[in-house]
């Protein structure tokens, strides 16, 4: 996630992610689940901009965070519904938590343009929150290390720490233990977000941890070597059967990707988005065109 400045404003493009592997190992005492997942950022982005404001001279409390969040087009709002109120948005929560933890009293004007579908398993809200921490760290001159920012990110959500680091990573614990993978061969995907979203807590509640956990080894080795066929055989998501019990879209999308010619396909995160692995960019464009004709929701071509 690159941060750049123009005048008083700092900017970032906040990527979505796909889970190429997702195993649920155990239910934790804190209510979360112990997981092992392989996540890759993809070229579907929200846009975030932040301008720092000065604190009031006699005000003991930090200055306000004013968030203007909107979908990039009316069609997206019609499809995915209104965004959370500014006070409830994870961007606002991230900035207020950073104010509290760092003791900074400056506020911010923030503009968020949303393109990543919500309730989709693509991590849009988490990515936005991570970007907010990055931008405020610069604009407020907090100048914290990645390790200190990560401590704040963990409090916000399981996927937020992943988006603080660049590139693909293996995430363990409840998602906060990050093993960056460095540069990897580019893979090509088609992503479909169907008309119905899914609640992450509901999907986890409907699922169960693995009796015999699947090994990540083969999936990771295939991704590192650029072996598309091996990666296709290694795709796995323990949450998919649970999600399929909550909506008919999961089984339908699996069948649609098979008919359209994807090498392999599976759900991302807790759904409801489904993605297909493709041989190359032209293959991805062809599959996306076939799926758009099927009126399955929003269809994206992405690399990662």
Q: Is 58 a catalytic residue?
A: no
How far, CA to CA in Å, does 72 sit from each of 53, 69, 81, 82, 131?
A: 25, 9, 13, 12, 18
> What is the Cα–Cα distance from 37 to 277, expressed in whole angstroms?
17
Cβ-in-10-Å burial (0-12, 13-18, 19+) of 230 comes to: middle
User: With contact defined as beta carbons under 8 Å apart, do 242 and 206 qualify?
Assistant: yes
Among residues 2, 8, 17, 212, the one annotated as catalytic is 17
Q: Is 159 a catalytic residue?
A: yes
Among residues 46, 114, 128, 159, the one annotated as catalytic is 159
Tokens 């509640």 locate to: 205
Q: State the DSSP H helix or E strand holding residue 45, giving kind and residue range, or none if neither.
A: strand 33-53
Q: Which residues contact 289 (CB under 8 A, 6 or more apart)?
A: none
Would you please indicate which residues are annotated as catalytic (active-site) residues? 17, 159
């Amino acid at each position: 996630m690159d941060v750049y400045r123009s005048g008083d404003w700092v900017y970032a493009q906040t990527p979505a992610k796909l889970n190429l592997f997702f195993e649920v190992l155990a239910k934790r005492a804190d209510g979360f689940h112990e997981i092992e997942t392989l996540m890759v950022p993809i070229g579907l982005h929200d846009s975030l901009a932040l301008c720092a404001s000065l604190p009031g001279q006699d005000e003991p409390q930090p200055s306000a965070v004013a968030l203007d969040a909107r979908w990039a087009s009316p069609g997206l709002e019609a499809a995915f519904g209104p965004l959370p109120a500014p006070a409830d948005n994870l961007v606002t929560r991230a900035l207020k938590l950073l104010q509290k933890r760092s003791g900074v009293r400056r506020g911010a004007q923030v503009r968020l343009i949303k393109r990543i579908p919500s309730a989709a398993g693509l991590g849009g809200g988490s990515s936005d929150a991570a970007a907010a921490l990055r931008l405020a760290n610069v604009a407020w001159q907090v100048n914290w290390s990645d390790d200190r920012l990560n401590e704040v990110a963990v409090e916000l959500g399981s996927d937020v720490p992943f988006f603080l680091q660049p590139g693909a990573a293996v995430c363990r614990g409840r998602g906060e233990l990050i093993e960056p993978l460095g540069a990897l061969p580019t893979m090509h995907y088609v992503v479909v977000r169907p008309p119905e979203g899914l609640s992450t807590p509901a999907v986890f509640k409907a699922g169960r941890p693995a009796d015999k956990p699947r090994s990540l080894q083969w999936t990771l080795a295939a991704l590192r070597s650029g072996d598309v066929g091996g990666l296709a055989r290694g795709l796995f998501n323990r949450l998919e059967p649970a999600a399929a019990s909550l909506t008919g879209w999961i089984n339908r999308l699996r069948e649609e990707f098979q008919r359209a010619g994807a090498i392999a396909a599976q759900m991302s995160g807790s759904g409801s988005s489904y993605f297909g692995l493709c041989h190359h960019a032209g293959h991805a464009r062809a599959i996306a065109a076939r799926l758009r004709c099927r009126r399955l929701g929003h269809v994206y071509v992405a690399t990662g």
